[in-house]
Each structure stands twice: as structure tokens, then as C-alpha cells.
Structure 1
Amino acid sequence: MTDPRFFESLLALSVAGLAERIGAEVLRGGERMISAVAPLASAGPADVAFLGDRRFLDSLRATAAGCVIAPAAAADVVPAGAALIVSGEPQAAWARASLLLHRPMDLSPIPLARAAEDETVRADPGVVLGQGARIGRGTRIGANTVIGPGVQIGRDCLIGPNVTVSFALVGDRVKLYAGARIGEAGFGAAGSRSGPVDVPQLGRVILQDGVTVGANSCIDRGAYDDTVIGENTKIDNLVMIAHNCVIGRNCLIAAHTGISGSVTVGDGVIFGGKAGIGDHIAIGQGARVAGGAGVLADIPPGETWSGYPAKPIRQFLRETVWVSKQASGKARAGKTDE
């Protein structure tokens, strides 16, 4: 379910009423009441889920969702106990449904005294604190920073100027340097007949104890599950971490690294500057990603990968030497011919 500190649940709708408002067709269960959206794997009897790709047919067969939005071709796979809405654009229909059932909490600013654990919390001029925000003792917040509604920040943290923190739970001794953006919506769009539809991002960001996030870096909240940054991980300036990523403890991520959505990173991984990581990739504990590498496949624990597409560094170096020799040989042959 969505975290009530960050999202307001709106009025429940019948399956028939929901289908009408999202432009889809009910095949069965129109009288059932639905109060939330959820993925297939975690949906319950009051939730609506969707099938967007046939890769998830096994999840569809096992779902406990009260209602499923699916293409007509998959209607016979939907469990008999679930209400069924048929749509030619199920993900876009689900995105529209989420807007009818959930809404982010309003900022509704509050004074520092209502958010602070005690008088040791300091806030510079221009700080805005949302309704329900909580700030642990000894924490300092820089000028013009916005802490969104429901955000929880631990003790002895340093939040720099012009930072925004929303939809986030932040541990103790966390440092967020100037201009960091924590908890913004991840990039998600579903195709529809009228053009791309934004998919609402209903998850959170979890920053564990001792995390550092450099200036102007961005960490997106989860699409539904959480984006998690493990204890004592250090993130440089100008780094992008997309929705649903889970980053381990004691990782080092250098500037201009971009990590796509749903990447899982083990403990102690190091990313060189300007590394790029494709979506849904797993990087094992203690691995190393060289600067400028483009990772398009899983990296086993302890290995160092380089190049584009990235591969084990010894293989990359052998291939680089071979290509260099071939190029040099052709160049010499060309001079001889002259």
C-alpha cells in the first residue's frame, strides 16, 4: 500500500465506475469496490493491478488483486476471483486509475518548532517544512531548502541549501549537499492512443544512516516499491539514480554516473565517473565499474568491468590491444603501398 504520510487515499470506486472513467470495458465484477492501485505481485482484494507485458503472465496467474486491467488476449489468464477490465493500453489505464485513487499530500507548511525533535535543530532563512515532517536533533538545514510533507530526517544530518526532500525517510548522519533532489518522480510513461501518459510514482526513497549525496544529484522515489540507498554509501555530485534502485552499503558512486531504474547493487561496489547502467541489472558485491563504462548485463561479485558495452576488464583490454594492432598494421600497409 502507499505510505499515508506521503499519499492521500481518495474515495473508493466500483470497478464499473473506474472503468468508465479510465475509458476501458468491464468484463466481470463491475460491482466490486476498489480503493488502491498496486503491482500484480503485491496487490490485494481492494487493489487494481495491470498486465503490461506477457513476461508477467506467471505473476498474473498468482495475483490476489481484486481487479486486473489486461488486454483482451490475456483475459483467460486472469484469476476467476478477480474483477476484469479490458483495455488495449492497460498500463496507461492503470496510470489513470491511480490518479483517481491516490493523491500526494499537500505541502501545508508548518513552523520549525512543530517538526524539530528539540531546540538543537537549526534551519537557515527560507526553509520550508511540510505538514507532518520530522527533523531529528542536531540536524542543520540550509537556506531555501524544502522538506516535503511526511518526510522523516534523522539526527545529526547536514542538509545543504536549495535541497528538496520529498517522499523520503532519511537516517542519522546523512549529508545532502547543495541542490540535491531526493524523492522526485521517476521517469515512467505509458503509451496510449493520445500519446504518452505519465505513470504516477507511488513509492518512497530510503536513505540509510551515514549516506552522503553530492551537489545537484538526483535520487528518484520508487514507482511503487522503494528506492533504497544503503548505509554509508557515498554519492558524488551530479549523479542520477532512478526509481526502484536498491544500492548496497559502503558503495562509492563518482560524478556523472547514471543508474537506470530497478538496478540492484551489492555492498562495496565502486562506480567510476560517467558510468552508465542499464535498467533491471544486478551488480554483485564488491564489483567495480570503470569510468565511462556502459553496463548492459549483470556483473558477478568482485569483478571489474570496463568499456562499452562493458565486459570483464581483462577481456576489454585484450580486445583493445588487438584492435590497436589491427589498425596499426593497416596503417603501415597503407604507407608501404604508397
Structure 2
Amino acid sequence: MPDTRFFQTLPSLTVAELAAQIGGAVERGGDRSIASVAPLSSADRGAIAFLGDRKFANALAQTQAGCVIVPPEAVEAAPAEASVIVSRTPQASWAKASLLLHRAITLDTAITPQDAAEDDSVVIEPGVVLGTGVRIGRGSRICANTVIGPGVQIGRDCVIGSNVTVSFALIGDRVKLYAGARIGEAGFGATGTAAGVMDIPQLGRVILQDGVTVGANSCIDRGAYDDTVIGENTKIDNLVMVGHNCVIGRNCLLVANTGISGSVTVGDNVIFGGKAGIGDHITIGEGARVAAGAGVLADIPAGETWSGYPARPIRQFLRETVWLAKQASAKKAPKES
């Protein structure tokens, strides 16, 4: 269930009612009541999930979801106890169900600094807007013209810079967000429908653990359903992008212009050089290093240093670079008369 501090849960619908509104056909169990959406792996009997790719067939077989949305060829693989909706675009149908069952809480009303602050040591500069349910720990400072969305929790001794936006987020102690940072915006998720491409609702959160620093104009997207997590004491430079569902370990360094795609898992003590780019659903082991400008398209084992595009172990990259340089020099050498 999405966090109720950030998302309103709307009235339940039956499977038949959902199918009629999301462009699917009921295969069985149309009378079952559904209250929420969830992934296959974490859904319960009151939730609806979907199969979008055959590689998740095992998750479909093991799911506890009350209802599953599947393509026609996967009906027989659905658990016998689950209701089934058939759709040729399961992810799009699930996204439509999300909009029918959950709604983000918007900043319709603001609260006073006195309502949000733990005590008088909290400093709220001019122009700050605080949504309903915001809590700010003692010793923290919120700088001018920053917007803190409904339900956000900020720990103690934090500094939130000017013109920052924070939403759908839980922030630990001693966190620094520099000017223009964007925390908790919707992740980049889209899927095809018969009418064209549609956005997939993002129902997760951002969790910044103690001691995290986020540089100016950097963006950390909230999870699509699970959380985006930045581990303790990780330091993020200016102009860095962290996509939805990423889990970044402790004591990591992300240098300027690094871009990390969605659902990347990073171990502790990892360093990313400037302009490093990481593909989605990649795992980077503890203590690894990614050289500046590298394009990572495969998992990196713990402790290794990778460079180049596509990135590979640095010794291999250097050998290939030297070989190419020798070949180029040989071709340019003058021929003997």
C-alpha cells in the first residue's frame, strides 16, 4: 500500500468495475473487491498486480495478489486463487487502475512554521511553503523560497537550500540539500497504449538517510512503487540524476553530471566519476569505481574499476586503447621508397 502520508487511498472497486475502466476483460473472479495496486512480489489479497514481461513468470506463479492483469497467452499461468483480467497492454491497464485506487496528496493548503517545527531552534526563511503534515527536526534550517510537500519528514540539523522542492520524502538527520535540488519528483516511467504513450503513476518515496549531501540542481526521483534510497553519508555533487527505485549504498560519491537509470543497486563506498552513465537494472558491487565518462551497461563486481563506453575493467580498457593508438600510428607512418 502506498504511504498514506503522501497518497490518498480511494474507494475499493470490484474486479469487474476495474476491468470496465482499464480496458481489460474479466477472465474470472469479477466480484472480488480490490483496494490497492502493487507489484507481483509484494501484492496481497486486496491488491491488483500485472505481468508485463515473461521473465517475471515465477513472480506471477508465487504472487499473493487478489487480482492479476495478464496478456492472453499468460492466463493459464495465473494462480488459481487469483482473479484475472486479460489485457494486451497489462502495464498500461495496471497504470489506469493505479489512478482509480490512489491519488497523490496535493499542496492545497499550507501550515505555519510553528505547526511543522519540533522547537524554536528550527529556522524557516522567507518564502518557504510547507504542506500539511510536514515535520522538521530541531536545529534544521529551510532556506528561502523552498517548497516542502505534504507529509514530508525532515530530521534534525538539516540544511535545505534555497529554491529546493521536496516531496514524497523521508529525510534523516544532518542532511544537506543545496539550492535548486529536486527530491521526490515522479520517475520516468511510460508505457504504450492503443491511444499512444501514457505516464505510469509513481507511488513510491525517496528516503535520504543520515548525513547525505545533495548538490545544487540535482534530481532524485521517487520510486515507481518501492522506494528510492540514498544511504548514510553518501555525497552527491551538482547536476546529478538518480532515477526511480535506485538503492545507493553508504559513503558513496557521485560526481557532477553522473546519471543513474532506474532500479540500479549500488553497494557501499562506490565512486562515480563525472559524467558517468549507468543503465537500468544494473548492480554495482561494494567498493567499485566508475571512471569519468564511462557508460555502464553490465553489472560491476565489488572492488573493480571500470572505464570506457561500453564500460569494461580498466586494464582491459587501457590495453585496447594502447592497441588502437598503435594501429592508428602504424597506418600514418610513411612508406619506405
2:103 counterpart residue number: 103
Distance in 2 (alpha carbons) for counterparts of 1:106 and 1:292: 38
Deviations 1:258-306 (A, max 9, x none): 0000101010000000000000111111111000000001111111100
Deviations 1:79-123 (A, max 9, x none): 011000000000000000000000011212111111100011111
CA shift, 1:147, in A, is 0.4
Deviations 1:303-338 (A, max 9, x none): 110000001101000000000000110111xx3279
| Contiguous gaps of at least 5 residues in structure 1 | none
1:62-211 map, 5 Å: 62-107=62-107, 108-211=109-212
Number of residue pairs matched? 336
Distance in 2 (alpha carbons) for counterparts of 1:45 and 1:222: 22
In structure 2, the residue corresponding to 1:182 is in which secondary structure? strand
Distance in 1 (alpha carbons) for counterparts of 2:211 and 2:23: 47
Distance in 2 (alpha carbons) for counterparts of 1:337 and 1:56: 63
TM-score by length of 2: 0.99
Specify the code of the residue in structure 2 equivalent to 1:315: Q
Distance in 2 (alpha carbons) for counterparts of 1:111 and 1:35: 34
1:253 counterpart residue number: 254
Specify the code of the residue in structure 2 equivalent to 1:264: T
TM-score by length of 1: 0.98
1:4 counterpart residue number: 4
Specify the code of the residue in structure 1 equivalent to 2:117: A
CA shift, 1:62, in A, is 0.4
Distance in 2 (alpha carbons) for counterparts of 1:337 and 1:10: 83
| Contiguous gaps of at least 5 residues in structure 2 | none
1:265-284 map, 5 Å: 265-284=266-285
Deviations 1:38-74 (A, max 9, x none): 0000000000000000000000000000000000100
Distance in 1 (alpha carbons) for counterparts of 2:297 and 2:25: 39
2:228 counterpart residue number: 227
Q: Does 1:336 align with 2:335?
A: yes
Specify the code of the residue in structure 2 equivalent to 1:227: T
Q: Does 1:310 align with 2:316?
A: no
In structure 2, the residue corresponding to 1:196 is in which secondary structure? strand
Distance in 2 (alpha carbons) for counterparts of 1:331 and 1:58: 57
Runs of 4+ in 1 over 3 A off after TM superposition: none
Distance in 2 (alpha carbons) for counterparts of 1:35 and 1:170: 29
1:242 counterpart residue number: 243
1:322 counterpart residue number: 323
- What percentage of residue pairs aligned between the two structures are identical? 73
Distance in 2 (alpha carbons) for counterparts of 1:249 and 1:123: 29
CA shift, 1:155, in A, is 0.3
Distance in 2 (alpha carbons) for counterparts of 1:228 and 1:182: 11
Q: Does 1:42 align with 2:42?
A: yes
Q: Note the aligned Cα RMSD (angstroms).
A: 0.8
Deviations 1:8-60 (A, max 9, x none): 00000000001001121111111000010000000000000000000000000
In structure 1, the residue corresponding to 2:95 is in which secondary structure? helix
In structure 2, the residue corresponding to 1:190 is in which secondary structure? strand
Specify the code of the residue in structure 2 equivalent to 1:8: Q
Query: Aligned pair in 2 of structure 1 residues 50, 337: CA closer, same or farther (>3 Å)?
Result: farther
In structure 2, the residue corresponding to 1:191 is in which secondary structure? strand
Deviations 1:230-277 (A, max 9, x none): 000000000000000000000000000000001010100000000000
Specify the code of the residue in structure 1 equivalent to 2:145: N
In structure 2, the residue corresponding to 1:18 is in which secondary structure? helix
Distance in 1 (alpha carbons) for counterparts of 2:146 and 2:81: 48
Specify the code of the residue in structure 2 equivalent to 1:202: L
In structure 2, the residue corresponding to 1:169 is in which secondary structure? strand
Shifted more, 67-76 versus 100-109: the winner is 100-109
Shifted more, 249-258 versus 102-111: the winner is 102-111
Specify the code of the residue in structure 2 equivalent to 1:85: I
